[in-house]
């Protein structure tokens, strides 16, 4: 039942089943049932099967965003949120998904660095960051790319944030931070990485020729960064971190604060940053634009970004 069970419905043909329960339009009898028309098209391979792998995935709004992208170019399909714990994020898991009929996969926290190691073929951004958030099959090989880099670049452009020559503090040292650092270095920013685990911050900084410091040090001194980026899950809905915010000293000062968290639309850190004088933006635009690039990789078509953005906003405001 539900999202996990939907996988066996969407990929029924690929796993050898010729009998699947479906429902009339808008009238599912059980969680995860697909409408009979879509279920039939999935059997005939005229619809796309896409999925998100993460742990947790309950906060994600990628499903309505990617399904809006499909409709915008006249394609049919289903996008599934699959909760995959770290121990199950293996090459066998990914291969089984593709062998069962899945056409494309997104990867979110905490699997992006692991996904990079599982790939046989890596795109330019995947190689430069050491993290992957988009997977597909190239022949019999698993291919991966990091579309978060493109997504963050587009967020900065959309919000008119110029980082050329500016001092930027990136909070976090995970997969998302890698994409942010790559995009910032490309645009000529002077980057400092701050994280709870100094060894991770040091490794990430070395990879991009950046500076680093323990998060505790950042929270105890005067802030002089024109841009601060939160690349951690602090503040994310459904994770138990909703009410948490970054240390207030990090958020103080003039300039811009970007929180990659997009659900809720306004996080505790964003409110705190605004109260302390920073212009603040959430990560919804990055979600949409990285999804745009992933969709282009999977389908070869350019989706309607405006429709994707509208679907994302509606989803987070429910």
112 is catalytic: yes
User: Going edge to edge, which strands form the sheet with 256-259?
Assistant: 211-214, 190-195, 167-171, 227-230, 256-259, 279-281
**Alpha carbons 300 and 243: distance in angstroms, whole number:** 40
Catalytic residue among 40, 91, 112, 154: 112
Question: If residue 248 lies in a helix (H) or strand (E), which one and from where to where?
Answer: helix 248-251
Residue 164: CA count within 13 A, CB half-sphere: 3
Count CB neighbours of 123 within 10 A. 17
CA distances from 186 to 70, 147, 209, 238, 286 (A): 31, 15, 12, 33, 17
Q: What pairing do the DSSP bridges indicate for beta strands 48-54 and 77-83? A: parallel
Q: What are phi and psi of 101, to 5 degrees?
A: 120, 0
Catalytic residues: 112
């Amino acid at each position: 039942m539900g999202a996990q069970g939907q996988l066996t419905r969407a990929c029924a043909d690929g796993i050898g089943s010729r009998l699947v329960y479906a429902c009339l339009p808008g009238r599912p009898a059980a969680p995860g049932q697909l409408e009979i028309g879509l279920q039939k098209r999935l059997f005939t391979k005229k619809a796309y099967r896409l999925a998100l792998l993460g742990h947790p995935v309950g906060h994600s709004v990628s499903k309505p965003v990617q399904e809006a992208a499909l409709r915008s170019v006249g394609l049919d399909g289903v996008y599934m949120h699959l909760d995959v714990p770290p121990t199950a994020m293996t090459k066998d898991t990914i291969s089984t998904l593709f062998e069962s009929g899945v056409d494309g996969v997104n990867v979110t926290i905490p699997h992006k660095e692991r996904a990079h190691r599982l790939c046989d073929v890596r795109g330019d951004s995947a190689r430069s960051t050491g993290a992957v958030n988009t997977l597909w099959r190239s022949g019999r090989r698993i291919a991966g790319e990091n579309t978060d880099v493109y997504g963050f670049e587009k967020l900065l452009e959309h919000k008119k944030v110029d980082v050329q020559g500016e001092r930027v503090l990136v909070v976090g040292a995970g997969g998302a931070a890698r994409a942010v650092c790559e995009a910032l270095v490309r645009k000529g920013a002077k980057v400092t990485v701050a994280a709870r685990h100094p060894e991770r911050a040091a490794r990430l900084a070395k990879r991009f020729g950046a500076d680093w410091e323990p998060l505790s040090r950042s929270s105890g001194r005067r802030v002089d960064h024109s841009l601060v980026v939160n690349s951690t899950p602090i503040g994310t809905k459904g994770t138990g971190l909703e009410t948490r915010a970054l240390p207030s000293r990090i958020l103080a000062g003039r300039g811009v604060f970007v929180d990659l968290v997009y659900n809720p639309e306004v996080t505790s850190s964003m409110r705190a940053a605004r109260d302390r004088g920073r212009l603040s933006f959430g990560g919804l635009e990055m979600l949409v634009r990285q999804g745009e690039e992933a969709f282009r990789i999977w389908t070869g078509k350019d989706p309607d970004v405006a429709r994707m953005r509208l679907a994302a906003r509606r989803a987070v405001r429910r």
